[in-house]
């Protein structure tokens, strides 16, 4: 390491703390000769690379100081002869600098080696960790992936039911269930909301999540909107048209099912994979003739020259009901069942609030989705919300020892998606039987009638 003489015309800050040097030394004018100690370039380079970029946690004496660095560092003080061990005013400058340089060099070497080893170890562990790209949430903090549509999750979000249960929440919005599946696979969320086709695809693909309860059934809030100025009196008139739909979604499943029921060859309709927001933009540009999607894009397209040809409520009458499901990461359900139980109880409390306070719910939906209260009430009327205590029936999730019809519907949906090339391999016929982890739902309806369910909006 060169001494102060080599750094005289550079004015770089040193490796020892200047304040400490001033406290332990007497001010004295004088020169400083070069220090004979060998330099440790590799350690200085390592320190520069690891710590200068972190905001100057350690600054090597042989690297340029940043503009904000303290210019009254070791070399400048030594160059000006202001450093001297207490009671040794008669020491030569070279001796003073040699002693301090030696101490600084020793401390620097020891600290740099320790820090370098720690940095390499941390980097290696981070690279080997499968969750390196998706940091885990702190304890009792949950990350909820939700769909921006009218259901009771917007109530629990707006009224802070999860926070009242002692949870910290990060709400992450998504447009489609396929996006939620991707986020769950990447470990970016702990809880999610997916429609029945994305859930069926997730089950068949082995995604690491479990179903908890039914968030909602989809009625008139989802449907096929077409242009009013086109001569389309029935689904048979879809032939030759350009129709947008989010592939793999409930809308995609119902559109293809409708074409099958109406004997419309698939190659006669141009299907375009678009999210609701993309479809709305394409509609405004005149690039598509129709779209099967959900609110709020559905209503915006109706307002802008469209009309609903058929909706999910009609498809349910034809034996094809669809809905949205709350899911949880399997690892979290295993490691923190107490946390998952609080989540389910809070969501069931929101469902009870939805049923018991329709006017306040309409205000919440209007605020969360940015629509008029009248539109919010229309969306509420088109959404089927099932109380948690009524989901454990043969129609939905089944009773003790039995599989409900809603759960059973996931298997044929998976087969349908495979036939359309949406799945890489054929799904097992009974793969969905164990999908729902119903231990959290069994008593949640009783808990939802207490505490948060009676809360009013601030």
What is residue 18's DSSP assignment? H
The candidate with the shortest Cα–Cα distance to 436, out of 205, 212, 207, is 212
pLDDT of residue 140: 79
Distances in whole angstroms, Cα of residue 325 to Cα of each of 56, 197, 253, 289, 307: 49, 10, 16, 30, 28
pLDDT of residue 443: 75
pLDDT of residue 103: 53
Residue 150, helix vs strand vs coil = coil
Domains of the chain (ranges plus CATH)? 4-128 (no CATH), 138-458 (3.40.190.10)
pLDDT of residue 48: 42
Give 195's strand partners: 324
**SS (HEC) of 266-301:** HHHCEEEECCHHHHHHHHHCCCCCEEEEECCHHHHH
Give the Cα separation of 443 and 439 in Å (integer): 8
DSSP 391-418: SSSTTTT--TT---HHHHTHHHHHHHHH
pLDDT of residue 431: 84
Give the Cα separation of 279 and 290 in Å (integer): 9
pTM: 0.69
The list of the chain residues with pLDDT below 70 reads 1-139, 445-458
Give the Cα separation of 350 and 455 in Å (integer): 10
Give the Cα separation of 104 and 46 in Å (integer): 16
Q: Phi and psi for 225 in degrees, rounded to 5? A: -100, 135
Give the Cα separation of 445 and 439 in Å (integer): 12
Q: Which residue matches tokens 């099912």?
A: 257
Distances in whole angstroms, Cα of residue 363 to Cα of each of 159, 216, 310, 366, 376: 12, 19, 28, 5, 8
pLDDT of residue 137: 57
pLDDT of residue 37: 37
What is residue 230's DSSP assignment? S
How many CB atoms lie under 10 A from the CB of residue 329?
22
Cα 418 from chain centre = 28
The pair of three-digit structure tokens given for residue 42, joined into one six-digit string: 């590799």
């Amino acid at each position: 390491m060169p001494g102060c003489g080599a750094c005289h015309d550079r004015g770089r800050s040193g490796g020892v703390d200047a304040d400490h040097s001033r406290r332990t030394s007497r001010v004295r004018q004088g020169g400083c000769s070069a220090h004979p100690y060998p330099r440790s370039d590799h350690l200085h380079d390592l320190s520069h690379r690891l710590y200068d970029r972190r905001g100057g946690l350690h600054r090597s004496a042989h690297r340029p100081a940043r503009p904000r660095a303290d210019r009254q560092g070791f070399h400048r003080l030594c160059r000006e002869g202001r450093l001297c061990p207490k009671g040794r005013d008669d020491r030569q400058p070279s001796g003073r600098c040699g002693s301090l340089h030696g101490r600084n060099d020793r401390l620097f070497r020891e600290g740099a080696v320790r820090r370098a080893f720690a940095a390499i170890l941390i980097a290696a562990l981070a690279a080997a960790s499968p969750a390196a790209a998706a940091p885990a949430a702190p304890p009792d903090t949950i990350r909820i992936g939700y769909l921006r549509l009218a259901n009771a999750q917007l109530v629990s979000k707006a009224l802070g039911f999860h926070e009242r249960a002692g949870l910290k929440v990060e709400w992450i919005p998504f447009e489609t269930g396929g996006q939620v599946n991707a986020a769950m696979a990447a470990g970016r969320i702990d809880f999610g909301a997916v429609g029945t086709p994305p859930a069926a695809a997730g089950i068949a693909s082995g995604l690491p999540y479990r179903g908890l309860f039914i968030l909602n059934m989809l009625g008139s809030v989802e449907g096929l909107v077409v242009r009013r100025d086109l001569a389309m009196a029935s689904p048979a008139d879809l032939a030759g048209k350009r129709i947008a739909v989010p592939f793999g979604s409930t809308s995609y499943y119902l559109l293809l099912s409708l074409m099958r029921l109406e004997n419309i060859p698939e190659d006669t309709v141009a299907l375009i994979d678009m999210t609701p927001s993309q479809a709305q933009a394409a509609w405004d540009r005149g690039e598509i003739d129709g779209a099967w999607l959900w609110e709020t894009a559905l209503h915006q397209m109706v307002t802008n020259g469209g009309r609903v040809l058929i909706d999910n409520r009609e498809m349910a009458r034809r034996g094809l009901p669809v809905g949205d499901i709350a899911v949880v990461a399997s690892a979290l359900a295993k490691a923190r069942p107490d946390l998952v139980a609080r989540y389910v109880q809070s969501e069931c409390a929101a469902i009870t609030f939805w049923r018991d306070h329709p006017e306040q719910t309409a205000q919440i939906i209007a605020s969360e989705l940015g629509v008029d209260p009248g539109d919010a009430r229309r969306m509420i009327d088109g959404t089927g919300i099932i109380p948690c205590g009524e989901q454990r029936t043969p129609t939905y999730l089944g009773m003790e020892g039995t599989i409900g019809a809603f759960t059973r519907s996931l298997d044929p949906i998976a087969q349908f998606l495979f036939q359309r090339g949406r799945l890489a391999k054929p799904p097992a016929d009974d793969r969905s039987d164990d999908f729902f982890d119903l231990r959290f739902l069994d008593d949640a309806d009783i808990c939802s009638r207490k505490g948060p369910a009676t809360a009013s909006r601030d």
